[in-house]
Amino acid sequence: MLTKKQLDLLEFIHKRVQRDGVPPSFDEMKDALDLRSKSGIHRLITALEERGFIRRLAHRARAIEIVKLPESMGGVPSAPTKGFTPRVIDGPHPSPTQPANILPEEVILHAREIPVMGKIAAGVPIEAISHVDHHVAVPGQMISTGGNHYALEVKGDSMIEAGINDGDVVIIREGRTADNGDIVVALVEDQEATLKRFHHNGRSIALEAANPAYETRVYPEDKVKVQGKLVGLIRTY
């Protein structure tokens, strides 16, 4: 999912390539989107590249190639990417005489309680989490067998484009390894914990936000420890 600014920029680049055969300059992009500086364009370009819509080609001026377009611009729907995608678990609906805030008995019977370990930052890393705050009931479909699970309350908005909002409760399967693209709880320098998308490249690990307002943070691989992978999400309205 793209933000309005990202979509506006992609559309502007696409139209200019179709018209002139070459993408616009960064100054032209800045003026077209009415931004104050080219740094904002750099962030939008990086976000579009990370999401696979464009590719920057090395050693060439105005070296931007459009790889795909979103459905709103006539593009083909993308195949699901590896990693977490929020999903709704359907359950029995309450009858007209049943209060909406009371779960049906069959849902309650299949729920499991897991510990809520406190808050996790979806933004700048916060202090590491190591205590049980309370417990939360989770639908059994959300928890895989053969693993320990815990929950964390999200603070911050850096993962909003992955469908994770401030105040959500995320369900984490405990583990020490992750694949590129997984959303993980990462412990940075044994002091701070954060929720980010994981990328391991050589001897470094990048922790990537899902919000162009936040920079991707890169650390030496020995400074980051995976604490678990995201497997579910609970939102209260």
Query: In this predicted model, what pLDDT tens digit does every residue of 103-133 receive, in sequence order?
Result: 444 444 456 788 888 788 776 555 566 667 6
121 and 223 assigned to the same domain: yes
135 and 217 assigned to the same domain: yes
What's the whole-number average pLDDT of the chain? 77
Residues counted in the chain? 237
35-60: pLDDT as tens digits: 888 888 888 888 888 778 888 776 55
Give the pLDDT score at 24: 86
Task: Please name the amino acid found at residue 172.
Answer: I
Hey, is 166 helix, strand or coil? coil
Give the pLDDT score at 117: 81
DSSP 12: H
64 and 167 assigned to the same domain: no
Q: Where is pLDDT greater, at 137 or 87?
A: 137
**196 catalytic, yes or no?**
yes
| 84 within domain boundaries | no
Please give the share of the chain, as a percent, with pLDDT higher than 70.
75
| 229 within domain boundaries | yes
Q: Which of 196, 204, 223, 229 is flagged as catalytic?
A: 196
Q: Which of 39, 95, 158, 223 is flagged as catalytic?
A: 158
Nearest-angstrom CA–CA distance, 40 and 43: 5
Question: With 0-12 CB in 10 A as exposed, 13-18 as middle and 19+ as buried, what is 139?
Answer: middle
Give the pLDDT score at 75: 63
Nearest-angstrom CA–CA distance, 205 and 225: 10
- The range of the structural domain enclosing residue 64 comes to 4-73
| 159 within domain boundaries | yes
Domain count for the chain: 2
44 and 118 assigned to the same domain: no
12-34: pLDDT as tens digits: 988 988 888 788 888 899 999 99
165 near 154, Cβ under 8 Å? yes
CA dihedral 90, 94, 95, 101 (to 10 degrees): -160
Rounded to an integer, the average pLDDT of 153-182 is 89
- Final residue belonging to a domain, choices 73, 103, 128: 73
| 81 within domain boundaries | no
DSSP 152: E
Give the pLDDT score at 53: 84
Give the pLDDT score at 97: 39
211 and 133 assigned to the same domain: yes
Nearest-angstrom CA–CA distance, 12 and 2: 14
| 133 within domain boundaries | yes
Hey, is 141 helix, strand or coil? helix
Q: Where is pLDDT greater, at 96 or 174?
A: 174
| 104 within domain boundaries | no
Look up the pTM and report it.
Answer: 0.55
Give the pLDDT score at 195: 92
Does residue 94 register a pLDDT over 50? no
142 near 160, Cβ under 8 Å? no
Rounded to an integer, the average pLDDT of 179-186 is 93
Give the pLDDT score at 76: 56
Nearest-angstrom CA–CA distance, 42 and 49: 10
59-71: pLDDT as tens digits: 555 678 888 888 7
Give the pLDDT score at 5: 87
